[in-house]
Amino acid sequence: MCHVMMEQAVRLSKGKGMQNMNYPPEYDDWCHVLACIRPEAYRVFSSEFAGRSERSFQMKRSVAPNFVQGVTEQCRQVVQTYLETYCYPKHAPLAFAVDDTKLLPGYRPYYDPHKKQWFIVGGAGAIFEVNNVDALNKQLAAIKEAKATKVRLWALQILLPHIPPCIVAVTPIGNSNSATELAQMEMQILDHLVGNLHLTIISLGSDGTVTEREARRELVKSGYATLHHHCFPHPDSSDSPQTIKIPIYTIHGQKMVPNQDSKHARKTMRNNAFSGARCLVLGGHVICYQHVREIVHDTLRSPLYVRDVEKMDRQDDRAAARLFSASTLDYVIEHMSDYLGLASYVFVFGDMVDAYQSRTISHFERAKVILRARFFKDLWKKFLQEAGYPANRYYLSRDCDDILDTVIESLLGLQIIHRDHLEENFPLLPWMHGTEMCEHIFGFMRQLIPDFTMLDILRAVPKLAVRLRAACAIQNKSADFRRTAAGYSHTYFSSDSANLNRLSDFPTDEELTTAAKTAWSEAVSLWGILGYFPEDGTAPTVSKDQLAPDEEDEDESSMVTERRELQNALDSASTLSISGTPASVDAIIDECTFAAASLELNDLEKITSLPNDDPESLQLLQTHVMAVLNSIASSGTEAAVQVEQLLASIQKPEQSGHAMTMTTPQTTSSIPPAVLVDSVKADLSGLVQTRYTNQSRECAESVRIRGRERDPVEERREGEVETRRATSEHKKLARKIYEIIRLHSEQGTSTGLNRRERTKAASGSNNKSESTPTAAGNTANAKAAAQSRASRMIKQRRKEYKSVPKLAESLATAQVDLISKIKPGIYGIVLDGEELRIGKVITMYEKGGGSAGKHAWTPESGNIGSLSYIVLQVWQQVRPNARRFTASFGSTTHLSIPQFSHLPSSAFLHRIPESSVHPASSYLDLEPKFFDDVFVEIYRAKSTVVQAFRRLQRPTKKGEDMDDDQGHL
């Protein structure tokens, strides 16, 4: 700036203007960014200091993106360079994946020196040229609603250890994209890669959203892909034999399978188990969030951390790995033997994910494990159907069920493609298939800039290749798997102790049939342990349409990063200036805009400062790839020797002091046979042994060290780095802008406020409620909304039950108050369907704020109206007028297992005092007085109670109060 001011002074002293002046690149970039953020501020600045006109901006440094957005010819060039760099043949298998992440919405201009043209990026679609800079603001205003909110990224992965992925294409998209639109993008890029380059892509990875899954199906529906099935017999013994069908796509003659990320599936399974919107029932057992909390609070022996269940991150890979680890299974079986449902869930689906993630087990074992998960899931549906449980409340969500089907079918499909459709016998490394490569790329971008624009992505792509190469070349010895609330954990590029020769041995169809028979036997045995004995293998008829959708997972879309907060503040300031502000306020906002431009350049510097190449890492990886390919081309014992030597040269993993010592893979079944389930306590140690053998390194090393007292200081520190982090410059500046806007806005209302204060002072008001400070922010709003909702519910219950003689008030409050709270272990009279039953509370949930609020666990409540759902074990009268109630009734009588219900709080009618109920093993009795005074009276008014419950369940219309006759909860 000093240089420019001196040059300006010299020119003015000579009577010259500022035309054709050469500006320093740093100064020129700063002016350009300022003009982009707030043109009016730049005009004020350039009128006092020197600066280019808005028409003459040209980039002097290489700030124009080297990567072009969209699906273009560039895709082929990038991929060809990637394969040539590592000397990887086109007939060798490749994994392909696509994923989205949030963008900082905003338009950014850049100058392309080759085309000598200005462009604008950041819109949801193609970039557009700027032909008339003077009309740029009008042009941007006209397309303001078309700002991109997400970036869609496609990546290609060489399927060998320690090789980084290749970013093939990126394109900005909006929030709402149909499956057809996404499928069209996929077709365009596959035309380039498979149709033109004839690459051997064998998997199409995507995340688990409904639209993404439908986009894969759209490839078949549109005729672009041909679907066929590889079949082998189902191992059931029914009269109508079934067939196991593995779907395989053919696109441009190439076989491939749609794929879901296995780690994402594991997190989805964790979130389903924790959801209050459903209760997972497995035979005579349930799974709920409270059971996992009980594990955590065993401070000496728990393999889990507190942050795994409190203020938890739903996208935490390490927390999900801990939950499904062998250590957690071991703990549940040893210390919580009644929770056999949780133990089975952890075993079956933990093993299923590690059929992908394990580096040691054979493909035969992987096939058996994945088929066991399928059969276990099928028998689960069959049990629910037979026991009369609606699948939408007592089974996995529709999305989760669909994701698991894809995970299961994909692994079997990959084995078949490797076995039957590749030119060479290439090892299958299943952990490299999925979207983890895309998440790794997004993670590096967020390390550079937590909230990036589309222009940031385009500038960073060439630099990210170097970062990815360095990360993949480093041996993954020091990975911190014990971190909590830390989001994604990337392990796809690590081979650990993988034996590539063993991973090139694929089961035949006969061996797959054998694996299926073993898997079926194990699944049946597991269900026998849970108390359910299927008569035959008849497939369940539960449709996916009968299942409930997932609750929305929290992701980066719900986060307001510091850069986004600053952008929002600048947008608000622009709106304020349009409405008219004093010159003094405009001047302060301009100063803040200058500072924002400087911070924008800091972000740019983070990208431009990255190296363009790293020849040492590249040479190391090239050497390893050539060695692996030579080993694959060999055969017999020579190949085995070469592979072992190669693995020894690539990495020599050190045994951690915390690692499990049991690592020798086995293929024999360790599940106890069904005849053992008659024992009071079945020996389940075989399940633990199997999990220790099959689990991945991430599962083994993510758990807490047993026998060590938890450090309370460490616990307080877990996941709370953000609270200790100093406030960033972005946040400080955003707060400054918002403060200016607030002060200006308050001027218009101060007259009314002052009048109110004067009136209050004159009247001598001393109302403490007006002067007592209250909590502010989302927490206060949520608390107030919950209290209001609870009060309205009690008011509505009182209104509906006023016609029930003697018990109107008791039914209104359910006899729950601050003294007699409802909590686990409490008994009550409940309305289950249209039947009066006795229920024992297992766990409870409260509804969060908003229509999409989640059902959060709560340990107890003094107000029945504050609860959303209650999970109970239920008992039914053995006969009319009897004080005895049985735990096994209806469709589960022949199974002799208890029944459970997931009920809305309005179905809990009356709390039963502890002294009035006498439970036994399979039945309970009510005290005569309570039975006559309460249960009989409610039974007499049963029709009235049922009608009242139905009215309470009606959804409230928007804008109506709950006491309105037209709408009720």
Q: Bridge partners of 172?
A: 151
Alpha-carbon distance 102 to 555, whole Å?
9
CB 576 within 8 A of CB 746: no
Its pTM stands at: 0.78
Amino acid making up residue 454: M
Q: Which two tokens stand for residue 497?
A: 């102790």
Q: Which two tokens stand for residue 895?
A: 């199974």
CB 621 within 8 A of CB 88: no
pLDDT in tens, 650-693: 443 333 333 333 333 334 444 444 443 334 345 578 899 999 99
Q: Order of strands, edge to edge, in the sheet holding 243-251?
A: 166-173, 150-158, 93-102, 200-206, 254-260, 243-251, 226-233
DSSP strand pairing (285-287 vs 280-282): antiparallel
Among 79, 55, 67, 61, residue whose Cα is nearest residue 121 = 67
Q: Which two tokens stand for residue 543?
A: 């449709």
Alpha-carbon distance 924 to 49, whole Å?
87
| Number of C-beta neighbours around residue 615 at 10 A | 8
- Contacts of residue 114, Cβ cutoff 8 Å, sequence gap at least 6: none
Q: Bridge partners of 828?
A: 839, 911
CB 433 within 8 A of CB 482: no
**String of DSSP letters for 298-356:** -TTT-SS-GGGTSS--TT-HHHHHHHTSHHHHHHHHHH-TT-HHHHHHHHHHHHHHHHH
Continuous segment of H or E residues that includes residue 441: helix 436-448
Burial code (b: 16+ CB inside 10 Å, e: under 16) for 461-492 equals: bbbbbbbbbbbbbeebeebebbbbbbbbbbbb
**DSSP conformational letter for 919:** E
Q: Dihedrals φ, ψ of 209, to 5°?
A: -70, 155
DSSP strand pairing (869-877 vs 884-886): antiparallel
Rounded to the nearest 5 percent, the helix, strand and coil shares of the chain are 50, 15, 35
CB 370 within 8 A of CB 411: yes
Residue the block writes with tokens 């360095």: 470
Distance of CA 31 to the CA centre of its chain: 40
Among 864, 774, 764, residue whose Cα is nearest residue 814 = 864
Q: Dihedrals φ, ψ of 90, to 5°?
A: -70, -25
Among 656, 660, 691, 661, residue whose Cα is nearest residue 361 = 691
CB 203 within 8 A of CB 433: yes
CB-count burial class (<10 Å; 0-12, 13-18, 19+) for 59: middle
Q: Bridge partners of 856?
A: 846
- Contacts of residue 360, Cβ cutoff 8 Å, sequence gap at least 6: 496, 497, 498, 499, 663, 665
pLDDT given at position 733: 63
What sign does the dihedral 289-293-296-302 (CA atoms) show? negative
Q: Bridge partners of 246?
A: 230
pLDDT given at position 692: 93
Alpha-carbon distance 355 to 640, whole Å?
23
CB 148 within 8 A of CB 454: yes
**DSSP conformational letter for 804:** S
SS3 category, 157: strand
Alpha-carbon distance 137 to 38, whole Å?
11
pLDDT given at position 681: 40
Burial code (b: 16+ CB inside 10 Å, e: under 16) for 752-783 equals: eeeeeeeeeeeeeeeeeeeeeeeeeeeeeeee
What sign does the dihedral 288-293-294-300 (CA atoms) show? positive
Among 151, 154, 152, residue whose Cα is nearest residue 97 = 154
Residues of the chain predicted below pLDDT 70: 1-5, 8-9, 11-23, 25-65, 113, 132-137, 140-145, 237-241, 472-490, 535-683, 706-782, 848-853, 956-969
